[in-house]
């Protein structure tokens, strides 16, 4: 079905690859790498939102390796770049789901980051794995947010629990969890309203939703997933820090990787926040979600082909 149409990690990285990594690869692949070349490489990586700290660390590692003359032959420095990029990323881990009992996933993030769409994709993904899924329309703040989730729930073929507009999102999460328990649902995914760290009441509300979920089921939420919009680059990092201060964030989902040349943000999130990247959003369709794969990610940035994807 949608699987064969889904965009792969490599395809979704086309913009980042073409704008930055293919140029970095060409620079390190040259027979001579000068001081000016290293400066150019730094600029490109920063442009791709790899982040200043991570860029300086990476270039320093590469420069050490390039001191060995033999590295400049036969594209060995290119291979070294690939290895150093891969070393920045932790080995991917699967979602923490309780196979013996119901699991609850809480999805959080700023306005428009891609939470609702990603929830639908995640529901679809989990269904393809043979799990039953129930959605909780916990965004009672924005008018029509529940309707939006409802449309996605139908596309994903899963049920949804809604509350009144303007109602208590904690109560919606609670109702969904109890409905899920009654129906032996495998996974309940809770949507939340978009919020900024400056909105004190909304951040406090998020802490309350988290508390309600943790009291309702042992070990819940099994994951609190921060949905980050990859197109916002380094802003995503400061957003993540604020959310991490409010609740225990267990992983990140990088949405809209296909729409940006700033895919280097994934390295910053992994290295500077120490946050596992669980999934990548690779498009607007329900199948456009891939579990994060560090090897495929680096291969997608480094692969050489004429079409660019
Ligand atoms: N290209 C692309 N677009 C995406 C992706 N994920 C989400 N979007 C788009 O991003 C926009 C916002 O998505 P939503 O899912 O509504 O975001 P949200 O975080 O729920 O927004 P609020 O509820 O308003 O905070 C929509 O136009 C989506 O189609 C992705 O992986 N790729
Ligand atoms: Mg939403």
Residue 120, C-beta contacts closer than 8 angstroms, at least 6 positions apart: 149, 152, 153, 155, 156, 286
Mean pLDDT of 266-273: 93
| Residue 242 CA: distances (Å) to CA of 103, 156, 192, 203, 238 | 25, 31, 16, 9, 6
pLDDT band at 5 (very low <50, low <70, confident <90, very high): low
pLDDT band at 75 (very low <50, low <70, confident <90, very high): confident
Ligand 1, pocket-test mutation among 149, 255, 280, most atoms within 8 A of CB: 255
Tens of pLDDT, residue by residue over 245-257, are 999 999 999 999 9
197 CB burial (10 A radius; 0-12, 13-18, 19+): middle
The verdict on the CB of residue 192 being under 6 Å from ligand 1 is: no
In angstroms, the CA 169 to CA 167 distance is: 6
Residue 245, C-beta contacts closer than 8 angstroms, at least 6 positions apart: 197
66 vs 152, higher pLDDT:
152
149 vs 29, higher pLDDT:
149
* Residue 52: CA count within 13 A, CB half-sphere: 0
Domains by residue range for the chain, with CATH: 9-88 (1.20.120), 103-292 (3.40.50.300)
At CB < 8 A and 24+ separation, what contacts does 114-117 make?
114/227, 114/229, 114/253, 114/255, 114/256, 114/281, 115/139, 115/191, 115/192, 115/194, 115/227, 116/145, 116/148, 116/149, 116/152, 116/191, 117/152, 117/255, 117/281, 117/284
The verdict on the CB of residue 259 being under 6 Å from ligand 1 is: yes
The pLDDT of residue 76 is: 87
Calculate the average pLDDT of the chain. Answer: 93
Check if the beta carbon of residue 104 is closer than 8 Å to that of residue 222.
yes
pLDDT band at 168 (very low <50, low <70, confident <90, very high): very high
Least confident segment among 69-78, 87-96, 219-228: 69-78
pLDDT band at 305 (very low <50, low <70, confident <90, very high): low
**Which residues sit with Cβ closer than 5 angstroms to ligand 2, an ion?**
115-116
How much of the chain exceeds pLDDT 70, in percent? 96
Give the global pTM: 0.95
pLDDT band at 32 (very low <50, low <70, confident <90, very high): confident
Number of the ligand 1 atom closest to the C-alpha atom of 112: 21
Say how many Å lie between the CA of residue 119 and the centre of ligand 2. 9
Residue 109 clears pLDDT 80, i.e. is over it: yes
Q: Of how many residues is the chain composed? A: 309
Least confident segment among 27-41, 104-118, 180-194: 27-41
């Amino acid at each position: 079905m949608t699987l064969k149409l889904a965009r792969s990690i490599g395809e979704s990285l086309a913009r980042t690859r073409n704008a930055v990594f293919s140029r970095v690869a060409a620079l390190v692949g040259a027979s001579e790498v000068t001081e000016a070349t290293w400066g150019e490489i730094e600029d490109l990586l920063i442009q791709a939102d790899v982040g200043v700290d991570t860029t300086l660390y990476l270039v320093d590692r590469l420069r050490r390796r390039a001191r060995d003359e033999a590295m400049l032959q036969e594209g060995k420095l290119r291979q070294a770049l690939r290895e150093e990029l891969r070393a920045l990323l932790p080995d991917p881990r699967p979602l923490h789901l309780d196979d013996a009992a119901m699991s609850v996933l809480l999805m959080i993030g700023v306005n428009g980051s891609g939470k609702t769409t990603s929830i639908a994709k995640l529901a679809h993904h989990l269904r393809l794995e043979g799990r039953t899924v129930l959605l909780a329309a916990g965004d009672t703040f924005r008018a029509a947010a529940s309707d939006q989730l409802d449309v996605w729930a139908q596309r994903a073929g899963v049920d949804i629990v809604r509350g009144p507009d303007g109602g208590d999102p904690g109560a919606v999460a609670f109702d969904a969890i109890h409905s899920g328990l009654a129906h032996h649902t495998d996974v309940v995914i809770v949507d939340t309203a978009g919020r900024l760290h400056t909105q004190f009441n909304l951040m406090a509300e998020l802490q309350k939703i988290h508390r309600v979920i943790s009291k309702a089921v042992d070990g819940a939420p099994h994951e609190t997933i921060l949905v980050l919009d990859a197109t916002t680059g380094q802003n995503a990092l400061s957003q993540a820090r604020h959310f991490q201060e409010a609740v225990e964030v267990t992983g990140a989902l990088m949405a809209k990787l296909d729409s940006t040349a700033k895919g280097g943000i994934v390295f910053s999130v992994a290295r500077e926040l120490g946050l596992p990247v669980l999934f990548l959003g690779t498009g607007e369709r329900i199948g456009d979600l891939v579990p994060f794969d560090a090897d495929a990610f680096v291969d997608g940035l480094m692969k050489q082909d004429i079409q660019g994807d």
